[in-house]
Amino acid sequence: MTASDFDNIDGLDRWRREFPILATTVYMISNSLGAMPAAAADSLADYARTWATRGVRAWEERWWEMSREIGDTIGGLIGAPAGSVSMHANVTTATAVALSCLQPVPRRNRIVCLESDFPSIIYLLREMQSVGWELIIVPAESDFSVQVDRVVDAIDHRTALVHLSHVLFKTSYIMNPAPIVAAAHHHGALVLLDGYQSAGIIPVDVAALGVDFFTGGCLKWLCGGPGAAFLATRPDLLPKLRPRLTGWLAHRAPFAFDTDPLVPRDDAMRMMGGTPPISAYYASLPGLDIIKAVGVDRIRARSKQMTARVLALAEKHGFPSIAPRDPERLAGTVAVDPPDALPVSRALKARDFLVDYRPGVGIRISPHFYNTMDEIDRTMATLADIVERKAYDRDAPARSVVT
């Protein structure tokens, strides 16, 4: 089957029109920032119009409860019931909110996390040691994989919270949380699963996963831009939780403006704090609608075919890759590691093939449902050409803090 046969097979190519950047670039970086749907601009215009014409009335007409509205939309995509998803500026903050529901006590003061978790989370957890938490970081193997047994062994009666990534950000390896959740719950600990690299690209059912918290954001595979991260909390746990990191959105009567102790809402908005970033919500709704319309099962099927093609071409060109070879364990990204991967990634970007680079794993190639097989073939051919002709500047200074 040729690349274009494949691209027409499942009708997904019609979605390309909805994403303007696809007309000018080969967009292989949805693990970092999903492509903007054209409808996001309309939605942001709607936001501006509402602000301009409704002014402060917008709060009562929609904005105050908009966190609940968007939380429920996200919940529908990840198997979280209505009223169990709260909205936060980013995943690190969402994690801090979940952790603020817990308190270290001498007999239960441990947090377990993975060395392969996203560093921002580890920075947060490390700092929490100054208020009495003890952090146990389960080391990564030399290929950045994580042995589930090692995580299970790190959990005991002193563990209050286990933090783990659903999909490891460097390798795109899909963890099997089940044995870890079972061990944590056996010892009376809670589990927070970081789903930033899973939601929107592989099917997620938080209820079936049995986790207590699930974090993620609209920025990447959900094509929603920055500022709309989320925290799903197990519904039966919610009423028992009282986050210390809180604010008036969590209050049942925020407009009473009294200074008595907060009376928390029954729903997930009890996990929220101060005034939310409404413009970010408007930006993210069209992406959520599109992902829902396309369907995560279809996205996953397409993604598997694309990642397999990247891997096959990497092999053909002799580029090493740390990516798991079992398609059931590989999510949306394939990291390939040619010689001089960092300057090669810059040369690719200069040719409008958008990818990123991570130390230790190389160039991350992350096709989404709106990419085509032809784009994959062109990305890998251009990559091979740059490597073969050494068409990059090894000594070029970084142009930004990002690369």
Ligand X SMILES: Cc1ncc(COP(=O)(O)O)c(C=O)c1O
- Footprint on this chain of ligand X (rule: CB under 6 A): 90-92, 118, 120-121, 165, 169, 194, 196-197, 217, 229
Q: Which residue's CB is nearer to ligand X, number 3 or number 137? A: 137
Kindly state the smallest distance separating residue 92's Cβ from ligand X, in Å: 3
Which is closer to ligand X, CB of 12 or CB of 85? 85
**Residue closer to ligand X, measured from CB, 159 or 366:** 366
In the complex, what is the shortest distance from the CB of residue 284 to ligand X, in angstroms, rounded to a whole number?
Answer: 13
For the beta carbon of residue 258, count every other beta carbon within 10 angstroms: 9
CB of 90 to ligand X, least distance (A): 3
CB of 168 to ligand X, least distance (A): 8
Structural contact between residues 122 and 116, judged by C-beta atoms closer than 8 angstroms:
no
Residue 88 token pair: 């936060």
Q: Of the two residues 283 and 387, which places its CB atom closer to ligand X in the complex? A: 283
Place of tokens 């001089």: 340
If the CB atoms of residues 115 and 388 are measured against ligand X, the closer one turns out to be 115
**Residue 49: exposure state from Cβ atoms within 10 A (0-12, 13-18, ≥19):** exposed
Q: How far is the CB of 89 from ligand X (least distance, A)?
A: 8
| Least spacing, CB of residue 193 vs ligand X, in Å | 10
- Find out whether 281 and 224 touch, Cβ atoms under 8 Å: no
Query: Distance of CA 400 to CAs 185, 252, 396, 397, 403, Å?
Result: 44, 45, 12, 9, 6
Q: Which is nearer to ligand X, 159 or 165 (CB)?
A: 165
CB of 160 to ligand X, least distance (A): 20
Minimum distance from residue 387 beta carbon to ligand X (Å): 26
Nearer Cβ to ligand X (8/176): 176
Q: How far is the CB of 68 from ligand X (least distance, A)?
A: 20
> Which is nearer to ligand X, 86 or 372 (by Cβ)?
86
Q: Among residues 169 and 369, whose Cβ is nearest to ligand X?
A: 169
